[in-house]
Amino acid sequence: MLYAYKGKEPRISDTVFIADYVTITGDVEIGDESSIWFNTVIRGDVAPTIIGRRVNIQDQSTLHQSPNHPLVIEDDVTVGHAVILHSSIIRKKALVGMGSTILDGAEIGEGAFIGAGSLVPPGKKIPPNSLAFGRPAKVIRTLTEEDIKEMERIRTGYVEKGQYYKKLSPLE
């Protein structure tokens, strides 16, 4: 379901796949070839939510903001299942693992990997190309070539899967 909020409507590229039971409201922008998976909520009723190109927001995730603090997700980002993103910045090619929470003012560096179940507290900055994990998240190490290849596999797989689903008709 798409909702306008106080005169602001979601702006979504025609190439985006939006699964069933997704709610998107207000000042939300979603770029080309992104995919928004089942039961996700993306709200832009407090501040803008800006989602780049080829981003995948997986099932049951919740995206929201605090006043005057937008949520920005740059291009080629993977957001795992049941993630909460709140007024944070997720830089290009980052991956936020399943069940993680990223809070106000946190910044996930370009190509960084946030391990499943992590909590990135308000204002915390995770450096580019690093693995961070825990509650609260701490940098564990620099990513390996194997890590980077796996993140790319996930990213490209979701772009392909989203475009495939976009062409399907649901079964009756």
- How many C-alpha atoms does 5 have within 13 Å on its Cβ side? 19
At 102-141, the pLDDT tens digits run 999 999 999 999 999 999 999 999 999 999 999 999 999 9
Residue 144 Cα distances to 44, 63, 109, 129, angstroms? 36, 29, 16, 9
Look at residue 168 in the predicted model and tell me its pLDDT.
Answer: 86
- Could you give the CA distance from residue 138 to residue 128 in angstroms, rounded to a whole number? 13
Above 70 in pLDDT, residue 171? no
The pTM score is 0.96
CATH number of 2-167: 2.160.10.10
Q: Strand order in 95-96's β-sheet?
A: 17-18, 35-36, 56-57, 78-79, 95-96, 113-114, 130-134, 137-142
Pairing of strands 71-73, 89-90: parallel
At 76-111, the pLDDT tens digits run 999 999 999 999 999 999 999 999 999 999 999 999
- How many C-alpha atoms does 107 have within 13 Å on its Cβ side? 9
Task: Name 43's Cβ contacts closer than 8 Å, sequence gap at least 6.
Answer: 23, 24, 25, 26, 28, 49, 63, 64, 65
CA Rg value for the chain: 15
Tokens standing for residue 131: 């693995």
